[in-house]
Structure 1
């Protein structure tokens, strides 16, 4: 894994609130990391489903928007998001990986998975995104 430091954007407020960070970003691929903390828990003490949905949405969007040039940012908005909740995490860190799977000039398709640091797959998802005009 390698991440060009010039591509790392300042965290936005919601990202700061949840605490996830980008670990890797390249053509058609992105990877984020999120330590599991009590503030992410639902009433059962496990990460809230919205945490998984946010990670899946974000990592797919980044995978779809890579340009490799910090001066040329590409942004996309989510048109459709599907999340499958598969298991409870056993570890202490969530790792989300997203991949662009297709698309064209204006719309793009992606898929993502979230595992924990013990290798348990906790969620998967797919999405459709539309590139925003600048």
Structure 2
């Protein structure tokens, strides 16, 4: 099995603290995050954005492989994930990941596409990880 890692450090505490996150691959190293990147509009990243990236990429890859397994060989898939963070008592909770898919798959019936996409949404490892409502809105272009 594969194991991937990321690391984070936070210097200072609470709203005044400054965080940095790095990925094992090195494509992101010491990327700034903190209260202002999570709850305001300061440039940097935040955990929900990283979850959205993971979910969009995982689902899109799962769908690509499912379509190939079903015999399709030509297409383009573009997915956006919007992760919702809501107040939960004294803390917060990720409550939803809304996937929006724009797809072009040569020769597929819309009903078959919807079925395969739904299975990919439920079966992708990040969907299985998230304990939140996961929705899928898709548009299949001819």
TM range (shorter): 0.3 to 0.5
Relative contact order, higher structure (CA 8 A, sep 6+): 1
TM-score (norm 1): 0.37
Structure showing greater radius of gyration is 2
**TM-score, normalised by the number of residues in structure 2:** 0.36
In terms of fraction of residues, the more helix-rich structure is 2
